[in-house]
Amino acid sequence: MGRFISGIFLGLFIGAFNGIMVAKAGLPAFIVTLAMYSAARGLALIFSGGLPITDMPPEFSFIGAGQLFTIPIPAIIAGLVFILCALIMKKTKFGRHIYSIGGNEDAALYSGVPVAYTKIGVWALHGALIGLAALVLTSRAVSGHATLGEGLELESIAATVIGGTALGRGKGSIANTFLGVVAMGILTNGLNLINVSTYYQMVAIGVIIAGAVYIDQLRSNKS
Amino acid sequence: MDINKKNTPLIEMRGIIKSFGAVEALRGANLHLMPSEVLGLVGDNAAGKSTLMKVLTGVHRADSGDIFFEDQKNFFNSPKDSRKKGIEMIYQNLALAPNLDVVANVFLGREKSSGFIKNLCGWLNEDLMGKETKELLNRLKINIPSLRVNVQRMSGGQQQAVAIARAVAFQARVVIMDEPTAALAVKETGKVLDIISNLRENGVSVILISHRLQDVFNVADRIMVLRSGETIADEKIENTSMDRIVKYIVGG
């Protein structure tokens, strides 16, 4: 159990480190993300020797393939995370501060919002959730491999922007993100079912991201 | 005691000098502000108005000169420091988060929660904050139809009103406004000036930085002119005229 939890904590620490690089060292978020993307994946390949790890205890597969009252465990985990995040965003100071930084970072800073700590907190939470997602994915695949999550970073961005989150303007909600995730899930699953190759799906995701952001900009310029 | 307090300035700045490298922004500027007074601060661009206010609020530190707050010699080290003493500055574009509603903006950075567990999680007490915002706006006679609308959907005047309410929400004694009417229509300007008058009635002093002399003459008790970093005029509104002030500003 401890070994699995440690994966979540590793994510949390890496996220917090990224957050410190952004909030304290002043690096652009995009660069920090890309740099860590490369460095962390490199470390994972070094530690695993580039080979999949398959000797997992049988009970570990419960996380990815188990069921509770016929509901798959990954769905239950996702549901709980969605509810938790929705509550954080709408009902707590932390969430309010996140929105205010997105809306007007200077105003937030001047109003006494702890901007740096809030940013680090967001990155740390983000990292912890990636750790959790990795746990589920590894359990589903019944093997751990350093490149298992490749492509998910863009899928998650696509789901978020389809859900109407305006990048860098403090707009968006967890409920809408949920709809975005469902839409992306239906889309990729549908494309799989009608035998569209993953290569075309990658093209589709690129088009979707650019298109969703473009439409969002059109809408916000109008108002 | 009370009378005595009325006659001593709340803020006094003497001989403030501030340079940025080779540029002398302030060259011995003086300023005083009485309790419940509206002071108009005017001057050409780069006359040093903003720098003087930044020295007062602790954004910049003066190279020399004294600042007294309630007769106590005092330098503020940061805007946080001066806010604690009740000096609030409303910046032109830094005041509000456009994606949040009125209540969230008024309480931004000072959100309220209640109860031990809820406090621990930072759980927002929206009812309490909503109620207090309503009371605050009533006290300042600010009329805003809905407190739950994002401020970006409001008119410029309403946004300015929210920014002012925000500034005085927490026992502000001095409010510094940087061009509060610059972007407003005539009707809205009148409303903002009314709010400034109301602040004075509520015992708050106001320093009004403005290019619109008409606005300053409408609402201020006293007007002060900065030129090239020096205070060159300080006159009661009833003893001066716009022509005189314009001459001071341009150096005629």
Burial A140-154 (b: 16+ CB within 10 A, else e): beeebbbeebeeeee
A136 vs A56: which has the higher pLDDT: A136
**pLDDT of the residue at A117:** 93
Residue A125 in this model has a pLDDT that exceeds 90: yes
**pLDDT of the residue at A128:** 95
With a CB cutoff of 8 Å and minimum separation 6, the contacts of A210 are none
**pLDDT of the residue at B4:** 47
B190: tokens are 């009148």
Alpha-carbon gap, residue A106 to B94, rounded angstroms: 6
Q: Is A28 left (phi over 0), alpha (psi -120 to 50) or beta?
A: beta
C-alpha distances out from residue A171 to A104, A181, A207, A218, Å: 11, 17, 22, 15
Residue B191's nearest CA partner among B240, B150, B223, B154 is B154
CA-nearest residue of chain A to B96?
A107
C-alpha distances out from residue A222 to A9, A212, B9, B154, Å: 43, 16, 49, 15
Q: What is the mean pLDDT of chain B?
A: 85
B89-118 per-position pLDDT tens digit: 887 766 788 889 999 999 888 888 877 777
Residue B223 in this model has a pLDDT that exceeds 90: yes
pTM over 0.80? The answer is yes
Q: Tell me if B32 sits within 8 A of B11, measured CB to CB.
A: yes
**pLDDT of the residue at B2:** 45
The distance from CA A74 to its chain's CA centroid, rounded to whole angstroms, is 15
CA-nearest residue of chain B to A113?
B109
B115: tokens are 């109860």
Alpha-carbon gap, residue B5 to B2, rounded angstroms: 5
**pLDDT of the residue at A54:** 83
Which of B95, B98, B104 lies closest to A96 in CB terms? B104
- Helix spans in chain B (H): 2-7, 49-57, 79-84, 102-106, 116-121, 126-139, 156-168, 186-201, 213-219, 242-250
Instruction: Name the DSSP letter for residue A59.
Output: G
Residue A61 in this model has a pLDDT that exceeds 70: yes
Instruction: Name the DSSP letter for residue A111.
Output: T
Residue A162 in this model has a pLDDT that exceeds 70: yes
Distance from B125 to chain A by nearest Cα, in Å?
8
Contact B108 A103 (CB under 8 A): no
Alpha-carbon gap, residue B11 to A181, rounded angstroms: 57
Residue A174 in this model has a pLDDT that exceeds 60: yes
Which of B91, B95, B123 lies closest to A92 in CB terms? B123
A89 interface with B at CB cutoff 8 Å: no
Q: Provide the 10 A C-beta neighbour count for residue B202.
A: 13
Percent of chain B at pLDDT above 70?
96
Q: What is the mean pLDDT of chain A?
A: 88
Q: Is A69 left (phi over 0), alpha (psi -120 to 50) or beta?
A: left
Instruction: Name the DSSP letter for residue A144.
Output: B
**pLDDT of the residue at A222:** 62
Contact A111 B121 (CB under 8 A): no
B115 interface with A at CB cutoff 8 Å: no
- Cross-strand partners of B38: B206
Residue B1 in this model has a pLDDT that exceeds 50: no
Alpha-carbon gap, residue B187 to B109, rounded angstroms: 31
**How many contacts (CB atoms, under 8 Å) link A and B?**
68
**pLDDT of the residue at A223:** 54
Contact A91 B97 (CB under 8 A): no
**Region of poorest pLDDT, from A8-17, A193-202, B13-22, B183-192:** B183-192
Which ipTM was obtained for this model? 0.80
**Mean pLDDT value of segment B19-48:** 89
- Cross-strand partners of B164: none
Q: What's the distance, Cα to Cα, between the start and end of chain B in Å? A: 43
B117 interface with A at CB cutoff 8 Å: no
B191-220 per-position pLDDT tens digit: 889 889 988 988 899 999 988 888 899 999
Distance from B97 to chain A by nearest Cα, in Å?
5
Pick the most confident of A27-31, A197-201, B82-86, B185-189: A27-31
Which of A93, A170, A171 lies closest to B122 in CB terms? A93
Residue count of chain B, please give it: 252
